[in-house]
Amino acid sequence: MSDTDARSDNSDSNSGRRGRQRWGEDSLVSPDGKYRAEVYGHNLRLVEVNGGQIALETHDGNPDLSFRQDVSWQRQVNMRYNAEDIDPPRPEVYWSPDSQWIAAIQTRAGVEREVTLR
């Protein structure tokens, strides 16, 4: 496979290629399999898969600024009105292919607004 093919393939970011990472249960575990991301309260934790030791924990989460995945986006923007709350709560995280970096989405609570169409 040429370098051009590798750069244009968006199928799997865990293989070291560029592209959008698939979100789901697999994205909670780092590509090297050493860490798992989880929500504790409204904070983000990275826990060692083998041993369960907490490797990293945030302390700035609260109900108004949370690492919990927010289903209201699915309901309001994507018009999936019957989307159910995620239980247990999960973070939305994206790992670098080498597991050295993680990006986590922290959501700020907003005011629900109604628009009347005529």
Alpha-carbon gap, residue 16 to 118, rounded angstroms? 50
Average pLDDT along the chain: 76
3-state SS, 57-88, equals ECCCCECCEECCCCCHHHHHCCCCCCCCCCCC
- State what percent of residues in the chain have pLDDT above 70: 66
**pLDDT value, residue 73:** 62
DSSP string, 44-61: EEEEETTT--EEEE----
The answer to whether 49 and 116 are in contact (CB under 8 A) is no
5 pLDDT above the threshold of 70: no
The pTM score is: 0.63
pLDDT of 25 higher than 60: no
- Beta bridge partners, 108, equal 65
Decide if pLDDT at 97 tops 60. Answer: yes
**Token pair recorded at residue 90:** 């999960």
